[in-house]
Amino acid sequence: MRWTHLFLCCFLLSILSPLPAFAKLPDIPAAVETRLYQGAAEEITAFIGQRQAQMDGLGALITTDVQKTTGESDKIALAAVLDLYQGLSFQLKNLQAELVRPEVPSLPLPSLASPPYTLAAFDEMVSFQQKIAQQLAAYEEMRAFGEGRLESLKDELVALLPLYTKEKTDENGKIQSYEMLARLFSLQHEYALFQLKKPKLEKELANTRTLVKESGALVAKIFGQLQISQGDLAALNKKADELADELAKGLARLNAESLELSKQGVVAESKLDKAVTHIAREAKEGAVTGLLESEKNRFELVLEALRIRQRAIINEKMNLGLTKKSLMFRQAWLAAYVEMAKGGKPTDFVETWRKNIDELLVQKEALVRDLSQVTQQRSDQAQRLVAMMKQAETVSQGDAKISFARQAEKTTQNLEGLILSLADNVNDINGLQKDVEVILRLLLNRMDTAERFFSLSLTFMTGKWEQARTVLYYPLVTLGNTSVTLISFIKVIFLILIGIRLLKLIRQKTGAILTAKTAMSPGAVHSITTLVYYAALVLGSLVILSTIGFNVSQLGVVFGALGVGIGFGLQTVFNNFVSGIILLTEQSIQVGDYVQLQTGVDGKVKKISIRATVVRTFEGEDVIVPNSEFVSSRVNTWSYSDNWRRLKVPFGVSYDADPDEVVRLAEEAAREVSITREDADHPVRVLFEGFGNNSLDFSIRPWCWMNKGYAGMLSEYYFVLFRKLKAAGIEIPFPQADLHLKSISPEVLAMLQSRLAPQGRDEEVAVGGKGG
């Protein structure tokens, strides 16, 4: 009985429990399904049929699941999934269509008559070549996009497959599994479609490249045997005259429209100003209405539409100029070709139109930027107009609402017109650029090697110079109304260096002339030439600064800043500078003077500059002394008023010598020295200085002329004096000392007596008692 109840319970539970809500999902063996694009066409078609059958089966199962599902949200989700699977069938049809799609046939080359060729044949072949070049660029862009897309699809498939494998085992996430499966199939189909297109695209690329090469050869062939008739030139001139009339009329029309728009802008600005004033007045009273705000917005739209149209007019004028330039180029290259056929050289033409190409590229970059900005403005304008229209609908009525809507439409139309005019100018520049590049390349190919090298070198140098000009003329800093550029800085440095070199040369020549032709001392000549040199340097610097446009009157600001710098950290430098000016003007110290400073430096002044003075010591060292030491400290100079210098030559003789004889010999020795100078005011003196410890002390006081260093003077006197004293038999003593022995040991005494006795010396050794 117990088993019977258990069986009945299980049977009832099986009956009452709900059926499975979802069908079993298929396993995906690999992220990339190669059977969709690899193998024979029949095999790929068969697998596409299998995949279609699988899609149909899954669609039927999902339809059944929709019918079995009771939840409304699940039904909606499953219905969306079902739409995805129906879209997969469309992808499979695209795969099948791509599989049987034939290759795109190449364009046939235009037929050529026998040479010489006409200008019309050349134009036809150039147009064909440019068309093929555009097709090649499109193919290359498609291939680059396809390769990038294949890589991203593969990465996405590899990342999605494990997520699907995990999700399909979850009974609570079957809807998400359906979606992931649909995404997997969709990515696989797209990946296969690109793989099927790839070999065809590669073949089309190869054929197009060959066609571009062949058409280029034909263009060069026609250009080499081109015959330009007088009828061609006359027709071109006639076309130029007609175009000039059309351009003049078009320009006049645009100018008139621009003038009218300016007038309308003045009126609209006046109305807008009144509306803003009215709103501001009512805002103070707290009674601003939406109608006033709507009217203000309408006037703003009017002004914006007028400004947009003005920009469009500017671009239309540019388009007229591009049309004229295109015709000018055709006239110029035909004239260059005719001249070249007569033996002329198209170097000037090539250089001129290369510059024009550079200018056109600059214009093109600006147009592309404007086009991007205007496109973004259109997007922003659309959002703003929607908000304004909603506001106008709530506060405006009847004619006011219609007027606002018309003005919004007018603004949008003007914006679209501006975009079209910008795009037209970009396209025209691209076309003219291609035409110029083709003709320049053909002309260069017809030149000989030397002419081509010269033209290319000239173009390269011109391009580099233009780049350098951009850097050289870039304003680094602005001083007042003057912009300091790199080229002006280099110019100032160059001129100052040249000026310094010339001033130094002039200074040397002037100093040599003054020294030779005048009785001025070298020190005075040096001071004068140095002062003139620095004065000319300052004046020349001011002239150089004025040549680059610098306002010299603005130097007051510089000197003011310099004064602050001196106060904080440059006072020592400024002190030496002023001291140098004092030395050069007072000439208290001159070049050639012998000086002795408190710091112990002594020697001959070699050079006096504006900051420091160079003193060459008697040992041959050059000492750079700041000028402030010569002004603020005591300086001993041996040649300030004259070059007389009195020396002191001390010496000593034995006490046995006759002092009068010594004085006579010393005076003779002094007069024999070549540097000694003697007259009534400068006699030679020998003085008896006193009784020394070991000698009678004398000194010679001769006068000499300071025209060389002090170091060798005393030596000459001592040489002559030594010879005089030695010849007279006068002894030059040396220091002596007496030794008194208070005690001595008997052994030492005996030893001394034994050594002194054989020599027959009469000296006695006095020995005192110990201690005393």
Confidence of residue 337 (pLDDT cuts 50, 70, 90): confident
Q: Kindly give, in sequence order, each residue whose CB lies less than 8 Å from that of residue 282, ignoring residues fewer than 6 positions away.
A: 288, 289, 292
Is the per-residue pLDDT at 13 higher than 70? no
- Last residue within a domain, chosen from 472, 507, 524: 472
Mean pLDDT of 460-466: 61
On whether residue 661 sits in a domain, the answer given is: yes
Q: Would residue 625 count as lying in a domain? A: no
Question: Of 151-165, 477-491, 671-685, which has the strongest mean pLDDT?
Answer: 151-165
Residue 749, domain member (yes or no): yes
Q: What is the pLDDT of residues 312-325, one digit of tens each?
A: 999 999 999 999 99
Strand order in the sheet with 622-626: 622-626, 612-617, 602-608, 594-597, 635-637
Give the number of other CB atoms < 10 A from CB of residue 72. Answer: 8
Lowest mean pLDDT among 268-272, 535-539, 616-620, 719-723: 616-620
- Residue 374: pLDDT band with limits 50, 70, 90: confident
Q: Is the pLDDT of residue 20 over 60?
A: no
Q: What is the pLDDT of residue 557?
A: 58
- Cis preceding linkage at 116, omega within 30: yes
Name the more confident of 284 and 17.
284
SS3 648: coil
Longest dimension (CA), the chain: 173
Report helix, strand or coil for 610.
Answer: coil
pLDDT at 17: 36
Lowest mean pLDDT among 253-257, 338-342, 469-473: 469-473
Distance from C-alpha of 565 to C-alpha of 572, rounded to nearest angstrom? 11
Could you give the number of structural domains in the chain?
4
Helix, strand, coil percent content, the chain, rounded in steps of 5 = 70, 10, 20
Q: And the tokens for 26?
A: 């298929």
Q: Is residue 303 part of a domain?
A: yes
Residue 750 sits in the same domain as residue 688:
no
Decide if pLDDT at 105 tops 50.
yes
How many C-beta neighbours within 10 Å does residue 600 have? 7
User: Residue 646 — left, alpha, or beta (φ > 0 → left; ψ -120 to 50 → alpha)?
Assistant: beta
> Residues 36, 156: one domain?
yes
525 burial type by CB count under 10 A (0-12 exposed, 13-18 middle, 19+ buried): buried
Q: Beta strands of 717-764 (E only): which ranges?
A: none
Is residue 758 pLDDT above 70, yes or no? no
pTM of the model: 0.54
Kindly state whether residues 744 and 721 are assigned to the same domain. no
pLDDT tier at 479, thresholds 50, 70, 90: low
* Cβ 278 vs Cβ 385: under 8 Å: no
Q: Do 259 and 145 fall within a single domain?
A: no
Task: Please compute the mean of the pLDDT values over residues 191-196 and round it to a whole number.
Answer: 92
End-to-end distance of the chain based on CA atoms, in angstroms? 158
Buried b (16+ CB within 10 A) or exposed e, 274-310: ebeeeeeeeeeeeeeeeebbbbbbbbbbbbbbbebbb
Are 67 and 201 contained in the same domain? yes
Show Cβ contacts of residue 12 under 8 Å, excluding neighbours closer than 6 positions: none
Residues 291 and 422 reside in one and the same domain: yes
Residue 586 maps to a domain: no
| Mean pLDDT score of the chain | 79
Q: Are residues 310 and 353 in the same domain?
A: yes
Same domain, 710 and 770: no
Mean pLDDT over 260-286 rounds to 77
Helix 486-517 and helix 449-472, axial crossing angle in degrees, nearest 10? 90
Domain boundary among 451, 472, 493: 472
Specify whether 73 is located in the same domain as 154: yes
Same domain, 182 and 51: yes
Does 606 map to a domain? no
613 bridge partner residues = 608, 625
Q: Residues 6 or more apart from 767 whose CB is under 8 A from it?
A: 741, 743, 744, 749
pLDDT above 90: residue 546: no
Q: Is 254 domain-assigned? A: yes
The span from the CA of 271 to the CA of 297, in Å, is 11
Residue 407 structural domain: 234-472
Residues 249 and 310 placed together within one structural domain of the fold: yes
* Eight-state DSSP code of residue 728: T
- 125, 142, 130, 128: which is closest to 205 by C-alpha? 142
- The verdict on 283 and 394 lying in the same domain is yes
Six token digits for residue 378: 């259109």
Q: Is the CA virtual torsion 216, 220, 221, 223 positive or negative? A: positive
pLDDT, residue 441, reads: 86
Most confident range, picked from 388-397, 446-455, 501-510, 738-747? 501-510
The model's confidence at residue 22, banded by pLDDT at 50, 70 and 90, is very low
Last residue of a domain, one of 409, 437, 472: 472
Is residue 170 helix, strand or coil? coil
**Residues recorded for the chain:** 772
Cβ neighbours around 589 below 10 Å, total: 24
Residue 550 located in a structural domain? no
